[in-house]
């Protein structure tokens, strides 16, 4: 009995009431069981449907999570790539900085060498000018001795000539007295004033007209620009050490005429190491002036110049950071502060 028709046939085939009752109870029991099974199937179908929906949700969630995971993986990969780019950029910048530092260190060493060379040039110039001053002093001493010798000879010659004149006058007077027979005793006219004491130039020191007494205004300013650095010790802008700035710096454009601070003789004109193109003028009496870092010259060694003559033009040759005139005053070869002389 697997269907409703079979249940009805079973009831109709019953022979008596008892069998019908038993069959009816059995059919009811089977129907109840079938109804329960149907209800259970409905429940299971509902649960299956819910499970399928949940599974689909889980599948959708998994897809979303996979998509999110893929996006996260891509983001992480991009961050790693960016991090590598930053590392590469940092490495390149570090390498560039190391190169710059190496260049700066090399420049500092080279600048230190040039400054040392400049100081050596200054010391060599001091020795040269000191030797020149000694030679000039010896020459002036020889000239004074020669002048004194000539003056002495002149005086001796004047005395001899005076004595000869007096002797001739006495002899003439004696002859006149003898011829006249007058016996005058006033024949001697030899009042002969001591002209031998007339002013002479012996020992004159006029050649030292520019003497090193340091009086203000003794020298003219070589250029009209402002003073950008004074004489004295200062902290070197690159080396960071205390060094003597042996002159005065005048700021002026390239090509500005440079004029002799006073008359004298050009003892040097040309390149001089860290000083660049340089002119040195000897003014006599141990006083000299130096004009450095010129762009070009207007004089040559051995020439004589007058105060205010153009000797060259402002530049930036040698150890220099820009166009300017480095001006020094030296006494006996040693640098002194130019300010009191100007």
**What is the domain partition of the chain in residue ranges?**
4-72, 215-341
The Cα 18–Cα 288 span in angstroms is: 160
- Residues of the chain with confidence (pLDDT) below 70: 1-20, 22-23, 103-115, 117-118, 121, 132-144, 181-216, 236-240
- Please name which of 298, 267, 289 lies closest in space to residue 336, comparing C-alpha atoms: 289
The Cα 138–Cα 260 span in angstroms is: 26
End-to-end CA distance of the chain: 143
Q: What is the model's pLDDT at position 288?
A: 93
Q: What is the model's pLDDT at position 305?
A: 96
Instruction: Go through 300-313 and write b for each residue having 16 or more CB atoms within 10 A of its CB, e for each that does not.
Output: eeebebeeebebbb
CATH, domain range 215-341: 2.70.70.10
- Name the phi and psi angles at 209, rounded to 5: -65, -20
Spell out the alpha helix ranges (H) of 2-16.
4-12
Q: What is the model's pLDDT at position 3?
A: 53
Spell out the alpha helix ranges (H) of the chain.
4-12, 17-180
Q: What is the model's pLDDT at position 124?
A: 73
- Beta carbons within 8 Å of 152's beta carbon, 6+ residues apart: 202
Q: What is the model's pLDDT at position 325?
A: 96
Sign of CA dihedral 45, 47, 49, 52: negative
Q: Indicate the pTM of the whole model.
A: 0.49
């Amino acid at each position: 009995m697997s269907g409703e028709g079979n249940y009805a046939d079973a009831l109709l085939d019953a022979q008596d009431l008892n069998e019908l009752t038993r069959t009816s109870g059995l059919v009811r029991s089977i129907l109840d069981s079938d109804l329960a099974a149907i209800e259970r199937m409905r429940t299971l179908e509902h649960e299956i449907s819910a499970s399928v929906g949940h599974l689909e949700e889980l599948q959708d969630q998994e897809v979303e999570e996979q998509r999110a995971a893929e996006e996260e993986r891509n983001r992480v990969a991009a961050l790693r790539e960016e991090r590598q780019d930053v590392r590469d950029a940092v490495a390149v910048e570090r390498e560039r900085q190391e190169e710059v530092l190496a260049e700066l260190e090399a420049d500092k060493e080279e600048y230190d060498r040039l400054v040392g060379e400049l100081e050596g040039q200054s010391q060599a110039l001091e020795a040269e000018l000191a030797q020149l001053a000694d030679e000039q002093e010896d020459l002036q001493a020889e000239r004074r001795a020669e002048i004194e010798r000539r003056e002495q000879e002149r005086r001796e010659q004047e005395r001899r000539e005076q004595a000869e004149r007096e002797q001739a006058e006495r002899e003439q007077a004696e002859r006149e007295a003898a011829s006249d027979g007058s016996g005058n005793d006033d024949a001697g006219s030899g009042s002969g004033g001591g002209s031998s004491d007339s002013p002479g130039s012996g020992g004159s020191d006029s050649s030292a007209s520019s003497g090193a007494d340091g009086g203000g205004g003794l020298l003219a300013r070589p250029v009209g620009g402002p003073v950008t650095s004074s004489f004295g010790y200062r902290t070197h802008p690159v080396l960071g050490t205390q060094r003597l700035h042996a002159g005065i710096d005048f700021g002026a454009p390239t090509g500005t005429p440079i004029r002799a601070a006073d008359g004298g003789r050009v003892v040097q004109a040309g390149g001089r190491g860290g000083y660049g193109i340089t002119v040195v003028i000897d003014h006599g009496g141990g006083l000299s002036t130096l004009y450095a870092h010129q762009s070009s010259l207007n004089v040559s060694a051995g020439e004589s110049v007058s105060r205010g003559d153009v000797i060259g033009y402002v530049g930036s040759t040698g150890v220099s950071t820009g166009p300017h005139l480095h001006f020094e005053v030296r006494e006996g070869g040693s640098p002194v502060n130019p300010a009191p002389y100007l």
